[in-house]
Amino acid sequence: MSLLPILEWPDPRLAQACAPVAEVTPGLRALAADMLETMYAAPGRGLAGPQVGAMLRIFVMDVTWKEGRPDPQVILNPVIEPLGDAVCTRAEGCLSIPGILTDITRPARVRMRWSDLEGVAHEAVLEDFAAACVQHETDHLDGVVTLMRLAPEARARSEAEYRG
């Protein structure tokens, strides 16, 4: 395993949609392991393929490891469906926009369908931080960074702060 360089905004790859993962190969397994190692070292709770230059619909996450309960997950080809009308606004950080927190409003509860590295299909209902995390990472797979979710004035302020 090895640490991968994390792309930073405004790298154009971060604004591109990713291709579906067609098959699990030894190379994809190695990428997933490297992505987990990179995420933990960053230290983050999620990392998507395009953030390391892999333009595939893959992300890794572990929303509980910082509380001492590691639960690493590799998510392939996620599909997210909002459940209900409730939304939640929280400050989100992004490993590709270091040092910037942005208030992002997202559905508070979602259903996610995905496959794992064994080709097994999964479905789960996620709430709270886990729901925000999977939506944030899926945004990356669609070529969307948090700055793009902001109103124009808020985006301009965040970009000015980021550029320093």
Q: Which residues are catalytic?
A: 137
Rounded Cα distance, 50 and 56, in Å: 7
Q: Which letter, b or e, does each residue of 12-43 get, where b requires 16 or more Cβ atoms within 10 Å of its Cβ?
A: ebbeeebeebeebeeebeebbbbbbbbbbeee
**Token pair of 83 as six digits:** 């459940």
d(CA 164, CA 23): 42
Residues in the chain: 164
